[in-house]
Copies of this chain bind each other. A is one copy, B any other.
Amino acid sequence: MKKYQLMAPGPTPVPSNVLLAMAQPMIHHRTPEYEALSVEVRAGLKRLFQTGQEVLPFVCSGTGAMEAAVVNTLSPGDTVIVLRAGKFAERWEEICQAHGVVPVAVSAPFGDTVPAERIAEALRQHPGTKAVLMQQSESSTGVLHDVRGVAAVTRDSGAILIVDAVSSLGIADLRMDEWGVDLVVSGSQKGLMLPPGVGFCALSEKAWGRTKTARLPHYYFDFAAEMKWIARGEPRFTPAVSLMVGLREVLRMIDAEGLDNVLRRHDRLARATRAGVTALGLGVFARATPSPALTAVVAPPTIDSEKILATYSSSHNITIAGGQGEMKGKVFRLGHMGYVADFDVISALAALEQVLDELGHPVELGAALRAVQQVFAERA
């Protein structure tokens, strides 16, 4: 018996109680029962997004929610600045280009970040900029970008700050209202511990203002129309009912643990993972602040990283992820977000020791685990 373990940077494991809640008989979405669910979920989402604004759920993947953010706040020919230091930043660029919005990239090499000061400089160079688009956690490189710093430099500019928090919501701290983030985009299948299928958008007053003048055509993703229906207490279109039932469960779990504790747990699991990997002589790909959501690890130069994930799967029934684009073959990625706790990280690192040993790489067995245990033994 090899227990299946999902340790990829999303989708992430779903708690059994949530799976079973979602396996209850289907309910209708225009009933008092669903309205009560919706009221509870909306309140929980506000706490999670750290905002007083409504959080709009859409039936879509994270990419759909990213496009929703663009088409509801921008117009053809608008210039936007994209913080470009990974594959998901390229997705912002592609979405903008598909809609005739002109992205200006402020780039850093993959594994690095762009300091807020460079965004400020770009805003000065392009004074008509309508938005700054960035990731908080860049899943392709394992880097955490400085949302707070970028928010400070966009706050008083004419640009709104749009943050892809798909793989950071409920994982890294993101104080939407306090920091002045204008539009937060997220998804269900990372920190929220749910199956994929629901995307979220939350808007500041400044971003809501932009929806009134934005001229990119849209229908399915329509923030203003969603708000009208929320006021009526009904969803605009048929929601992903079972996922919304699951969402109520996970929001209760997050409230019970406390958001601060949830964020601390992720930080601790990430530090433990990095300590374990480093103890085996491997390098963390992130040169900038590493993400608490996942750790991108540089494979030993003699081993194709695709072989490492294949062996994780074939020998240990554990799914991890490889490198994307130019990082393919060089990097492998361990997720530690959502429904993940200490001994999941222990398992992932124990497996890494075995995988490297099996692939002929010299390993001091137990070295990673000792390093992980030292992090876990720290008393705050």
Which A residues fall within an 8 A CB radius of B?
4, 6, 8, 10-14, 19-20, 22-31, 59-64, 67, 94-95, 98-100, 187, 189, 195-197, 216-220, 237-243, 313, 319, 321
Bound Cα distance from A216 to B67, whole angstroms: 14
CB distance from A257 to the nearest CB of B (A): 20
Q: What are 9 sample pairs from A and B whose C-beta atoms fall under 8 A apart?
A: A6-B26, A11-B26, A11-B238, A61-B220, A61-B238, A64-B237, A187-B238, A195-B242, A196-B241
Bound Cα distance from A98 to B216, whole angstroms: 9
This chain: copies in complex: 2
Task: Give the chain B neighbours of A216 by CB distance below 8 A.
Answer: 217
Given A59-B64, A60-B60, verify A197-B12 contact (CB < 8 Å): no
CB distance from A249 to the nearest CB of B (A): 12
Asked if residues A98 and B64 are in contact (CB atoms below 8 Å), the reply is no
Partner of A67, one of B29, B95, B219, B238: B219
Query: For A64, A237, A238, A243, which residue has the most chain B Cβ atoms within 10 angstroms?
Result: A238
Which residue of B is nearest A14, CB measured? Answer: B26
- The 9 A-B residue pairs whose C-beta atoms are closest, nearest first, are A197-B240, A195-B242, A98-B219, A23-B23, A19-B23, A196-B238, A67-B220, A64-B220, A28-B319
Partner of A61, one of B59, B61, B94: B59
Task: Give the chain B neighbours of A237 by CB distance below 8 A.
Answer: 61-64
Asked if residues B29 and A11 are in contact (CB atoms below 8 Å), the reply is yes
Query: For A11, A13, A240, which residue has the most chain B Cβ atoms within 10 angstroms?
Result: A240
Asked if residues A239 and B319 are in contact (CB atoms below 8 Å), the reply is no
Which residue of B is nearest A339, CB measured? Answer: B26
Bound Cα distance from A28 to B318, whole angstroms: 10
Bound Cα distance from A237 to B217, whole angstroms: 22
Asked if residues A99 and B219 are in contact (CB atoms below 8 Å), the reply is yes
Which residue of B is nearest A313, CB measured? Answer: B31
Bound Cα distance from A219 to B99, whole angstroms: 8
Bound Cα distance from A53 to B135, whole angstroms: 37
Task: Give the chain B neighbours of A187 by CB distance below 8 A.
Answer: 238
Given A31-B313, A64-B220, A217-B217, verify A197-B242 contact (CB < 8 Å): yes
Which residue of B is nearest A12, CB measured? Answer: B26
Which residue of B is nearest A29, CB measured? Answer: B11
Partner of A4, one of B25, B30, B313: B25
Bound Cα distance from A189 to B26, whole angstroms: 10
Other 4 A-B pairs with CB < 8 A, given A6-B28, A197-B243: A27-B319, A59-B196, A195-B242, A196-B239
Bound Cα distance from A240 to B194, whole angstroms: 10
Partner of A22, one of B59, B220, B242: B242
Bound Cα distance from A19 to B241, whole angstroms: 13
Bound Cα distance from A25 to B25, whole angstroms: 19
Task: Give the chain B neighbours of A95 by CB distance below 8 A.
Answer: 219
Task: Give the chain B neighbours of A12 by CB distance below 8 A.
Answer: 26
Bound Cα distance from A197 to B195, whole angstroms: 11
